[in-house]
A and B are shown apart, each in its own frame.
Chain A
Amino acid sequence: MDEKKTIFDYLKQLFTTYGIMVVIFIVTNLLVGNGARVLSTLFSLGSVGLSTATLLQLLFLAVIITVAQNIFLSDLVIKNMALIVRNILFFVTVMVASTLFIILFGWFPVGDPRAWIGFIVCFAICTAVSAFIMRLEENAENKKMQEALNKFKK
């Protein structure tokens, strides 16, 4: 058994995710905020800043991501599952949650197919790249450990 996580560990995880999201949205807002103002509720204030509503929506999404991380990317709930399946389930959950937020909070015009294609393409690329990198890291680490074990047993 590992040491138990405290509420502060979960809060740290939540606010790390939230902080990263807010920074990404601040940078995006500075770049396209004024232009996207009429298209997206996320940038309702233009490049002036992010609204309280946007910050709360991002916080809520960060909570969902943190919960999904603890369900799928740790052994807190699921003890035995391949890492690749864990990653797929995690990304599917985040995608479903993001889609709901887009529809509920009007993050972009839901009737615009180009916006949806853009969202899906961006999400798919990010997911594929991160899954690929994780897979490469995992394979390299496994190979290194196996070689070290074989050397040790000689």
Chain B
Amino acid sequence: MMKINLDIDGKYDDTEVIIRAPHLNNDIERMVAMMRMIDMQIAVRKDNETYLIETDKILYIEAVDRKTFVYTNSENYESELKLYEIEQELIERDFLRISKNSIVNLRKIKSLKTDVNRKIRITLQNGEQIVVSRMYSDELRRKLGLR
């Protein structure tokens, strides 16, 4: 059972979160990752090392086989968080779900083109292309003020 202690006092200058645990586990890593996102950062892993990347460096995030991958201009990382957890935090920061398994940073889109079946083909700043499924195309249009 996890204990949660809140110590709210005007004597503190800043917000500090201390986690005390017998060992580091997945739950703690996910908790830290979610807190990082409040600071516009996301904790990701690559080659057994953990990195903190700014959310505005992310092009898109994709879930594949129960794993979450974070793509930047030139690198791709893995995140401990589930796609929906990241989405909840980033949705107000110009990220939008574009299919069941991916969310995109709208500010990193270079161009948009219509595709078959009312889908939209996105070209990202690094030239990579991803497709917005028909289900989410209308939401993208709405977000851009086209509906």
Residues in A lying within 8 Å of B, measured CB to CB? 1-3, 73-75, 83, 86, 138, 141-142, 144-146, 148-149, 151-153
Contacts and interface: CB of A to CB of B under 8 A. Distances in A.
Interface residues on B, range: 20 to 34
B29 to A, nearest CB: 29
Interface of B: 99-101, 106-107, 109, 111-117, 119-120, 131, 133-135, 141, 143-146
Contact of A142 (B109, B112, B117): B112
Contacts of A152: 106, 143-145
Given A2-B133, A2-B135, A3-B135, A75 B109 contact: no
Given A74-B116, A142-B114, A153-B107, A1 B146 contact: no
A145 B106 CA distance: 12
A145 B120 contact: yes
Contacts of B131: 75
Contact of B141 (A73, A83, A145): A145
A74 B144 contact: no
A151 B143 CA distance: 12
Contact of B117 (A2, A141, A144, A149): A2
A151 to B, nearest CB: 7
Contacts of A145: 112-114, 120, 141, 144, 146
B116 A83 contact: yes
A148 B144 contact: yes
Contacts of A74: 116-117
B62 to A, nearest CB: 12
A3 B116 CA distance: 15
Given A145-B141, A145-B146, A86 B116 contact: yes
A42 B141 CA distance: 46
Contacts of A146: 111-112
17 contacts: A1-B133, A75-B116, A75-B119, A83-B114, A83-B115, A141-B114, A142-B112, A142-B113, A145-B120, A145-B146, A148-B141, A148-B145, A149-B106, A149-B111, A151-B145, A152-B106, A152-B143
Given A1-B101, A3-B135, A86-B116, A144 B107 contact: no
A153 B108 CA distance: 9
Contacts of B113: 142, 145
A58 B112 CA distance: 39
Nearest to A81: B116
Contacts of B101: 1
